[in-house]
Structures are given as structure tokens and as C-alpha cells.
Amino acid sequence: MPAVKSYLTAGFLPVEYDEGMTERWEKLLRDFGYSNVEMVDEHGHTVKFLLND
């Protein structure tokens, strides 16, 4: 998990490429204390924002 947090800090955006990705990413993001994180598709287009409270 430290590597995932490093990627997010470096600007990596979660990619939705399979069923269940939203739920998996939201759990990780909650654990890391993130909110309102952009999720993109395989082409880099915004799909949604995660934990957009």
C-alpha cells in the first residue's frame, strides 16, 4: 500500500477498467484520507470523482 500512496502523491489517477474498481479505489482512498479524487478511463478521460462529498 505505500507504493499506491506514493503514486497518488505523484499525481497518478485511478483508472476504471474493470467492474468493482470504484469500490476498491474508494476503500484505499478512505484509508489514506483522500477525498474528491478524479477517476479516468483507459484513455485518460474523466469518468467520475471518487469520495466526492
pLDDT in tens, 5-52: 999 999 999 999 999 999 999 999 999 999 999 999 999 999 999 999
Q: Which three cell numbers stand for residue 16?
A: 476504471
| Full domain range(s) for residue 9 | 2-50
Look up the pTM and report it: 0.88
pLDDT over 80 (residue 53)? no
Q: From residue 14, give the alpha-carbon distance in Å to each of 8, 20.
A: 8, 12
**How many domains, the chain?**
1
